[in-house]
Structures are given as C-alpha cells and as structure tokens.
Amino acid sequence: MKEAILSDKAPAPIGPYSQAIRTGNLVFVSGQVPFDPATGEMIEGDIQALTRRAMDSVLAILEAGGMTAKNIVKTNIYLADMGDFAAMNEVYGTYFSDGTPPARAAVQPARLPRDARIEIDVIAAD
C-alpha cells in the first residue's frame, strides 16, 4: 500500500508526481529544487541559499509524514556545476550535525528541471 504525503510548506509538484510516497516504513521524497513554496518560483542566491531552500522543502515534506532529518537514510544531490560541491556541502552538513549522516550520492547531470542549480531527493525510514 502506498500513501502520498503533501506539505504546503514545500513547493507543489509541477508534474504528475507526489511530493513524497510512504510505503511501509519508508518515505521516498521526490527531488526538490529551490522553489519558494509561496510563489512556486525559483529563489535567487548563491548555492548555499539554494541548498538551504531545497533541504528545507525536503524537511517540510518529511515533517508532514511524521519524520525528521534523523530518519533520512539516503540522499541524492544533483548539481548543475560540481564546482559548487564544497559550498553546498557546508550547508548540507548542518542538517545532520546531531547524528549519523545518511548515505549520499552527488552527481552533475546534463541539465536539471527549470535549469535549477541543485535538486535533492531522499529516502527516509522509521
């Protein structure tokens, strides 16, 4: 059985997908780009601000599903420019300072939706 999770504190989906799906004790959060949840538009700023916005959306969705950052077991980070890795990593690490950070992959795809500079998806377990 699967259940959709939706948070109004994260951007609404821009296509035929759910913000997250719960199945059993797992929650799969769809890729979050740095959209402002109020406007649905991409925020402006450096990669650290963009990372913070994407991670805040991920956490808002997890919260709607009864989870926190401590429940994240796997993260995928997509960067438009791998040159942003170190600055992104500084901000990303602050979300996991209270425990064991999750497994992670970070890649540079050819292009991200709406030409975003970062997209983050996670898997969480309770």
CA atoms within 13 A on the CB side of 121: 12
> Mean pLDDT, 10 residues at a time, over the chain (126 residues)?
97 95 98 96 98 98 98 98 98 93 98 97 97
What was the pLDDT predicted at 98? Answer: 84
What was the pLDDT predicted at 47? Answer: 98
